[in-house]
Amino acid sequence: MNLQGTMQIGADGHLWIGGCDAVWLAEQFGTPLFVYDEQLLRERIRAFHAAFRAAGVERYQVAYASKAFCTVAMCQLVTEEGCTLDVVSGGELYTALSAGVHPSRIHMHGNNKSREELEYAIDARIGTIVADNFYELELLEEIAGRRDLTVEILLRIAPGVAAHTHEYISTGQQDSKFGFDLESGQARAALEAVQRLPHVRLVGLHAHIGSQIFDSGGFVLAVERLAGLYEQGMALGLPLRVLNAGGGFGIRYTAEDDAAPITSHIRAITDAVRRSFAARSLELPEIWVEPGRSIAGPAGVTLYTVGSQKEIPGVRRYVAVDGGMTDNPRLALYGARYEAVLANRVGERADTVCSVAGKCCETGDMVIWDAPLPEPRPGDILAVFATGAYNYSMASHYNRIPHPAVVFVRDGRATLVVERETWADVARFDRPLSYKAAYACPQGRYPSPSPGSPPEGDAGAWTPASSAVSGPSAPARR
* Residues noted as catalytic: 361
Q: Which residues lie across from 306 on neighbouring strands?
A: 321
Phi, psi of 158 (to 5 degrees): -95, 100
**Angle at Cα 396 formed by Cα 469 and Cα 119, nearest 5°?**
85
Please say whether the beta carbons of 285 and 230 come within 8 A: yes
Could you tell me how far CA 403 lies from the centroid of its own chain? 16
Angle between helices 134-147 and 186-195 (to 10 degrees): 10
CA gap 80, 356 in Å, rounded: 37
Chain CA centroid to CA 237, Å: 36
| Strand 33-37 versus strand 405-410 pairing type | parallel
Under the phi-then-psi rule, with left for phi > 0, alpha for psi from -120 to 50, and beta for the rest, what region is 185? left
Q: What DSSP letter does each residue of 144-168 carry, written as one string?
A: HHHHT--EEEEEEEE-S---SS-GG
Torsion angle of C-alpha atoms 39, 379, 357, 349, degrees rounded to 10: 70
Rounded to whole angstroms, the Cα distance separating 188 from 180 reads 9
* Contact in structure between 232 and 188 (CB atoms under 8 Å): yes
- CA dist 229 and 154 (Å) reads 13
SS3 285: coil
